Structure 1
């Protein structure tokens, strides 16, 4: 969840703050923020593609409960 939601948001703010510290005009601050978001999004996309092909990171069904075999407590 951190990788997908928080990292792009943090990169957006970090790039905007860096552009502000460099005393850039507001349009450039906005472009820097969007650039930071884009870099983080590309990083997350590349990492998720790598994780999708890794069998160690795939979910495994440990036990399947069939409809007729469920016991009532």
Structure 2
């Protein structure tokens, strides 16, 4: 069985709320990796649904991404 088949048959059926992992959030910032000097991962230590509403994380994400030389991305680690 190939990796793709294993993923499709054994792993993906057990994933709850797969939209968490698509990376297509509303208002997500996408920049060219070669055009920035610094990449930052803002990691929230809980579920996506809880971290997305965190005002502090939203403010920091906006401030960092307003800098032309910085690209901040969000990650959630339950």
Task: Verify same fold: TM over 0.5.
Answer: no
Structure with greater proportional strand content: 2
Structure with greater proportional helix content: 1
Structure number with greater Rg is: 1
> Could you tell me the TM-score, scaled by structure 1's length?
0.26
